[in-house]
Amino acid sequence: MLDDEHARAILAAASRDPMSATQLSETCDASTATVYRRIDDLTELGLLEESINVRSDGNHHSVYRATLTQFTLELDDGEFTTEVECETEDVADRFTRMWEGL
């Protein structure tokens, strides 16, 4: 997945601020359909996290945040090894972040 330019662009953009699919589409210069496909794949792999942006006008929408913090590729004695580190957020932190967004 990380060899895909759109997936990398989405992760980079979503690592700065949580963004909606529309915002990611504009920021990454990719079609909304492409962004939604990559969002599905990245979320399934645990590299991207979805949350709901609750608004006072009742118009709630999903935003996405990158959880990937580090990707390591090593070559040793003719063999490649990879390590992926993702940030995990517990329920209390997620609730706090959601509450602060209100």
Mean pLDDT for the stretch of residues 13-41: 95
Torsion of CA 65, 81, 4, 16, to 10 degrees: 30
Structure tokens at 40: 């599905």
Domains of the chain from N-terminus onward: 5-100 (1.10.10.10)
Alpha-helical runs (H) found in the chain: 5-16, 21-28, 32-44, 91-100
Mean pLDDT for the stretch of residues 78-93: 76
Among 19-28, 32-41, 47-56, where is mean pLDDT lowest?
47-56
Q: What are phi and psi of 24, to 5 degrees?
A: -65, -40
What is the helix (H) or strand (E) element at residue 101, kind and residue range?
none
Q: Is the pLDDT of residue 102 over 90?
A: no
Q: Is the pLDDT of residue 34 over 80?
A: yes
**pTM (predicted TM-score):** 0.74
